Chains A and B, each alone.
Chain A
Amino acid sequence: MNRIQFMAALEALLQDVPEEERREALQYYNDYFDEAGPAREEEIIRELGTPGRVAAEIKAGLEGRAGEAGEFRETGYTDARFERREAPARQGCAGEDGGKPQSGRGAKILLIVLILLVGFPIIFPLSLAALCLLAGLAIAAVGVFAAFLIAAVAMAVCGIAVFAVGLVTLVADLPAGLMVVGCGLLLTAAGAVFTVAAVRLCIIVLPGMFRFCVELLRRPFHRRKAVA
């Protein structure tokens, strides 16, 4: 394919874009060939790939600007462009296999899909089980600490109740009443101390556990990224 053929094919492929856009694009590539000179003509055509690819890129550019003004974020549009951008680079590297840039990528995607299909029935239940186990352990641990806390609070509450009973008893029987009031006060104090201790324990242990779980869950993803 020479320059004339390339431009004719590109023009034919751009029939469905607005007249002005077509003229602009064609002028750009015409100029491009002019600037590069006849010596680079063949190289440029090879690197541009097919007229279809160039046309698709031009059209993607036209669609991509809908509603955006001066700000282009990482969107699907960007990804599509870079997939296309990478193709010619690979073609350049693997010149000897006739330059089929899409086949390597396609095979890789197929392989990944196959691995997922085969591995899914095994990996999914296993990972689900592991996740459930982890969740169960975490909930159990939280339960144990919650039990400590509740027991301590209950102790303090009982102490207050006993103290109240003691006050009532005081009227009927002074020594017995005093003893019950004393017991109530002791119980309340012990309950308060245990409550504080339990809260401290929770503050230290629970975030640590949480961090451990998150780290555990994150690790497989990180490793996968490193391999890729």
Chain B
Amino acid sequence: MVFNTGAALLDAIVLAVVSGEKNGTYGYKITQDVRRAIEVSESTLYPVLRRLQKDECLEVYDMQYDGRNRRYYRITPRGEAQLNLYRSEWKKYAEKISALFEGGVLS
């Protein structure tokens, strides 16, 4: 991709992906889902998930799956609030940039 994804946008994308799964989702799946939108390496998301967890935007719980433990991530109310903030900010940002690209407001 030509454009860099900043930390805030990456947080927003991860929160959006996790919020889409009401019963929570796990690291591998989150990575694959995020990858459908942007290029991230397999190692990019761990620090992001860990930080969001520490900031109480995400919570984790363990559940048995296929005879082993699987760690699930679920969005918290605080995470929802943060995601809503990101959504509205993104809407504003995207509209402005699109207007600029298509209309050439400056000049």
B43's partner among A49, A70, A77 (CB-CB below 8 A) is: A49
What's the A-B contact tally at a CB cutoff of 8 Å?
Answer: 93
**A49→B70 CA distance, assembly (Å):** 24
> Contact residues of A with B, CB < 8 Å?
21, 24-25, 27-29, 31-32, 34-36, 44, 47-49, 53-54, 57-58, 60-62, 64-65, 69-75, 77-78, 81-82, 85, 87-89
Q: Which residues of A contact B4 (CB under 8 A)?
A: 82
Instruction: Judge whether B50 is part of the interface by a CB distance below 8 angstroms.
Output: yes
Instruction: Judge whether B36 is part of the interface by a CB distance below 8 angstroms.
Output: no
> Contact residues of B with A, CB < 8 Å?
4-8, 11, 26-29, 31, 39-44, 46-51, 54-55, 57, 68-71, 78, 82
Distance between B27 CB and nearest chain A CB, rounded to angstroms? 6
Distance between A20 CB and nearest chain B CB, rounded to angstroms? 11
Q: Which residues of A contact B39 (CB under 8 A)?
A: 89
B8's partner among A25, A73, A89 (CB-CB below 8 A) is: A73
Q: Which residues of B contact A77 (CB under 8 A)?
A: 7
Distance between B58 CB and nearest chain A CB, rounded to angstroms? 12
Q: Which residues of A contact B68 (CB under 8 A)?
A: 34
Cβ-defined contact, B55 with A70, below 8 A = yes
B46's partner among A58, A64, A65, A87 (CB-CB below 8 A) is: A58
Cβ-defined contact, A73 with B7, below 8 A = yes
Instruction: List the 3 closest A-B pairs by CB distance, nearest first.
Output: A61-B47, A35-B28, A72-B7
Cβ-defined contact, A27 with B46, below 8 A = no
Cβ-defined contact, A81 with B71, below 8 A = no
**A71→B8 CA distance, assembly (Å):** 7
Cβ-defined contact, B54 with A48, below 8 A = no
**A27→B26 CA distance, assembly (Å):** 12
**A64→B55 CA distance, assembly (Å):** 12
Cβ-defined contact, A64 with B42, below 8 A = no
**A94→B65 CA distance, assembly (Å):** 38
Cβ-defined contact, A78 with B50, below 8 A = no
**A21→B46 CA distance, assembly (Å):** 11
Q: Which residues of A contact B46 (CB under 8 A)?
A: 25, 28-29, 57-58, 61
Cβ-defined contact, A74 with B70, below 8 A = no
Q: Which residues of A contact B41 (CB under 8 A)?
A: 47-49, 85, 87-89
Cβ-defined contact, A70 with B7, below 8 A = no
Cβ-defined contact, A70 with B57, below 8 A = yes
Q: Which residues of B contact A32 (CB under 8 A)?
A: 27-28, 31, 42
Q: Which residues of B contact A25 (CB under 8 A)?
A: 46, 50
**A88→B46 CA distance, assembly (Å):** 16
**A28→B50 CA distance, assembly (Å):** 10
Q: A21, A36, A64, A82: which has the most chain B beta carbons within 10 Å?
A: A82
Q: Which residues of B contact A21 (CB under 8 A)?
A: 50
Q: Which residues of B contact A57 (CB under 8 A)?
A: 43-44, 46-47
Known: A28-B71, A70-B82, A74-B7. A44 touches B51 (CB 8 A): no
**A35→B41 CA distance, assembly (Å):** 16
Which residue of B is nearest A77, CB measured?
Answer: B7
